[in-house]
Amino acid sequence: SPPLHPAPCGVAPSGMSAVSTNDEACDDGRSVGDDRWFANGVLVQLCGLRDEPRLNGSTGEVVGFDRAAPPNGCYRVRLQATGNVCQVQKRNLLLLPNLFATQVGSIGAASSTGTPVAAPPTPQMPIALVPVGQQPTPPNEPPTKEHVMACRDNVEQNMAMLQGLCDLRQSGEEISRDIMTGMYSRLTTSYDAFNALLEQFTKTCDPDEEVFEAAAMADAFKKCEEHYFRIRSWSEVLLDEVNLTHQIFKSKGVLGAFKDEAAAVVEDISDFATQAIGTEEVVPGPEVVLGPAWGLVSFVQEAVVNWVKEKIADPLKRAWHLLLYGFLMCFIVPLF
């Protein structure tokens, strides 16, 4: 099946090359017609495989290239989990952040100064989501500020691409469902990866002003997400819910996902009750200048609705989606 996104989906942000440019490594044909070919030694993740879906999400190292494999040659990838070597087309490979690897000294090394930083894993297929917990992060080597900034840049790039797709659709362009949902999945995955890396960084290092500014991108992400929500179709809503729930189950497991959602709902309800008992006003907000009675009532009603939606309705909605998806996967799908 053809790739759902243009070439930049698996490429590091501008200025951070994740592929080799050594002419001596072109003899095996991997560079023919591809100026962004993968070098030996880079870490990749398999995604979008239809014949072998069980391998989606597996990580491995590029160890060679088979030019004779149809249609345009395949990369040889040694899987980290089993050590087996499999042949995979480039469109089914995503560059992983080779953050902690030492310099690759074999043919195709990406630079003479060390292994460059690649973009975080990003799914090219809607269902082939990359759980944050499976990213290769050795426990003894914390990420650096450069790694955090690289992930930040990748999220910003993904937001710009999704925003561009939304603008194209609003202008009348026909953008397929798979492209829209795939781009949204890619954005949410990179955003989760950034938050996980940022949390790990702040535990070991004192963040400076630049890191604090990177952490404040939540507002921009939310605005981009809301823009996409306004223009997506009902089928895209359903597919997005399936993708996100599938991602949660892969990263946390079914029981872990239900446990986290239940704990979040209980905590939100507890906070709501505590504020209702301890304060005269449940909804905090900016100081209101008294005006006409209808204006004050309207302001309070809107604030109450927004607070209840954010603190109560949304967590309950997520828990219901998890319950429904778990029921479908455990009881309905096996019937077919």
216-264 confidence digits (pLDDT tens): 788 889 999 999 999 988 888 888 888 777 766 666 665 555 556 555 5
Q: What is the DSSP letter of 229?
A: H
**pLDDT score recorded for residue 138:** 42
Whether 282 contacts 268, CB under 8 Å: no
Per-residue pLDDT tens digits for 136-155: 444 456 778 888 888 888 88
Alpha carbon distance 44, 51 (integer Å): 19
For 280, other C-beta atoms within 10 Å of its C-beta total 5
Look up residue 99 and give its two tokens. Answer: 């953050």
Q: Please enumerate in sequence order all residues whose Cβ is within 8 A of that of 148, keeping only pairs 6 or more positions apart, or say none.
A: 194, 197, 198, 201, 211, 214
> Any idea what the Cα angle at residue 201 is, between residues 197 and 207, rounded to 5°?
125
Task: Give the C-alpha distances (Å, rounded to integers) separating 180 from 1, 4, 185.
Answer: 17, 9, 9
Alpha carbon distance 34, 115 (integer Å): 20
Look up residue 271 and give its two tokens. Answer: 């906070």
**Among 1-10, 49-58, 67-76, 119-128, which stretch is predicted with the lowest mean pLDDT?**
1-10
Alpha carbon distance 294, 235 (integer Å): 40
**Among 53-67, 268-282, 317-331, which stretch is predicted with the lowest mean pLDDT?**
268-282
**For residues 99 and 69, which has the higher predicted lDDT (pLDDT)?**
69
**pLDDT score recorded for residue 288:** 46
Report strand pairing: 59-66 vs 74-79. Answer: antiparallel
In the chain, the largest separation of any two C-alpha atoms, in whole Å, equals 79
Answer whether residue 16 shows pLDDT above 50.
Answer: no
Mean of the pLDDT values across residues 98-111? 32
Sign of CA dihedral 320, 323, 326, 328: negative
**pLDDT score recorded for residue 236:** 87
**For residues 181 and 269, which has the higher predicted lDDT (pLDDT)?**
181
**For residues 45 and 16, which has the higher predicted lDDT (pLDDT)?**
45
**pLDDT score recorded for residue 271:** 58
pTM of the model: 0.43
Mean of the per-residue pLDDT values of the chain: 66
C-alpha radius of gyration, the chain, whole number: 23
Closest CA to 178 of 48, 274, 7: 48
For 72, other C-beta atoms within 10 Å of its C-beta total 14
